[in-house]
Structure 1
Amino acid sequence: MSATRLLVLGAVRGFGRAHGYLVRTELLTWGADEWANVKWGSLYHALRQLAKDGLLRAIDVPDSGGRVDYELTEAGDEEFFRLLRTALVRPELRPDMLTAGLALLPALSRAEAIELLEKRLHALESGRADIIEQTSAWTDPGHVQELFDLWVHNTSSGADWTRGLIERLKAGAHTMAGEDPAGFGMPGTWTPTQV
């Protein structure tokens, strides 16, 4: 799964209609090159590929010197939400999908975001228990136990952080989809460098 794909779909969704430079500039202001492993050359390729896949609609802009704008298709909106939900639920060793999912979290209702994060918490807690069980008898080579200990530590801290985010959302933190018609998570409401 690609964080770039999720972020591009999310940005086009947020703007309603966007060209590559606008998407690139917006994601750059977020620092997505640092936390989501976005490669700027791949962003333009992603836009073209998403259009080829029927997830974006490419619109030639007359008298613009060849600029192409993009709009989300119905299939693109479905793919955006599929990727977003998966990013929030599935613990992975690489953080880029989770960070992309968090950047687009307000596209979900509060109830759905909490439900997805509770599934993530369950997966993290189950994963930690599995690691402990599988590695409890590890003996040779002894230093490899440090790797297992690191996994347990990372899983534990991920569970603690997820539990805290769930509590913050339950307490009303962040404006989520459906709570403000002009809110960040609503399609077509973004303005450049809003974040």
Structure 2
Amino acid sequence: MSTTRLLLLGVVRIFQPAYGYQLRRELITWDVQDWANINPGSIYTGLRTLAKHGYLQELDEESGQRPGRTSYKLTADGETEYFSLLRGMLWTVDSFHPDKMQAALAFLWSLRRDEVLAALEARITQVESWLKAEPFSERQILEAPATPNHVVEMFRISTARDKGELEWTREFRQRVADGAYSFAGEPADWEPYPGMVTHWREIPDRSGDGPDRSAD
């Protein structure tokens, strides 16, 4: 649920005010149905739920005598929740839910570079500590007479994933340290295609604050 919430709040934040069909179309291009377990049809329900909880504001567009379309934008609580979720997923490794970091990667540009570097260093430390403990977990299983030895493979497959996570995080951190990508307070490092909303070019000067239009 937290991954879905971050994705919905984050994509609304990019396009706001944005219509449900627009957000659904955007998220489908991210293949969220494959890695985040989000049913495209449930996106509308998720938006209404976030609005009910006070994280989104519904804006009704008048259309003559017909019901108008509903668009959404973040409330102050929604902005706070967005950064809380983003930071939680960035700073904490959850090996059994890789979709959390996948979602966080989509919105890292909302944070300053120094925070991203610090968080990646924290992730490296977390995974390194797990890998140090792994041999002792294996030994405990192998020495327990009532535990089938094949259970150790459950730990070994987790170890393989953790090693991959550690290798990628170290390399990613180095790329960020070397100046790759754009983060809050920096000029955007790419140009949206014609007709795309300009929000993608507006990187906030400070996390959660107004846009820096120096890239325009």
**Residue in 1 aligned with 2:162?**
155
Matched, 1:105 2:108: yes
Partners of 2:203 and 2:170 lie apart in 1 by 22
Deviations 1:162-190 (A, max 9, x none): 1111101001111112102763654898x
Number of aligned residues: 189
Question: Does the CA contact (< 8 Å) of 1:3 and 1:37 recur in 2?
Answer: no
1:80 paired residue among 70, 79, 82? 82
Matched, 1:37 2:37: yes
Structure 2, unaligned runs of 5 or more: 189-199, 212-216
Q: Secondary structure at the match of 1:137?
A: helix
Question: Does the CA contact (< 8 Å) of 1:135 and 1:145 recur in 2?
Answer: yes
How much has 1:42 moved relative to structure 2?
2.0
Identity of aligned residues (%): 39
Question: Does the CA contact (< 8 Å) of 1:128 and 1:152 recur in 2?
Answer: yes
Amino acid at match of 1:117: L
Question: Does the CA contact (< 8 Å) of 2:186 and 2:203 recur in 1?
Answer: no
Partners of 1:53 and 1:97 lie apart in 2 by 21
- Root mean square deviation of aligned Cα: 2.0
Deviations 1:97-127 (A, max 9, x none): 1111111111111111111121121111122
Distance 1:94 1:5, change over 3 A: same
Structure 1, unaligned runs of 5 or more: 190-195
1:183 paired residue among 187, 201, 214? 201
Greater RCO, CA 8 A, separation 6+: 1
* TM-score normalised over the length of structure 2: 0.80
How much has 1:128 moved relative to structure 2?
2.2
**Residue in 1 aligned with 2:48?**
48
How much has 1:89 moved relative to structure 2?
1.9
**Residue in 1 aligned with 2:135?**
132
Partners of 1:119 and 1:39 lie apart in 2 by 32
* TM-score normalised over the length of structure 1: 0.88
Partners of 1:58 and 1:126 lie apart in 2 by 45
Partners of 1:154 and 1:27 lie apart in 2 by 26
1:114 paired residue among 114, 117, 122? 117
Q: Secondary structure at the match of 1:136?
A: helix
Q: Secondary structure at the match of 1:138?
A: helix
Question: Does the CA contact (< 8 Å) of 1:57 and 1:71 recur in 2?
Answer: yes
Q: Secondary structure at the match of 1:37?
A: coil
**Residue in 2 aligned with 1:192?**
none
Partners of 1:184 and 1:158 lie apart in 2 by 31
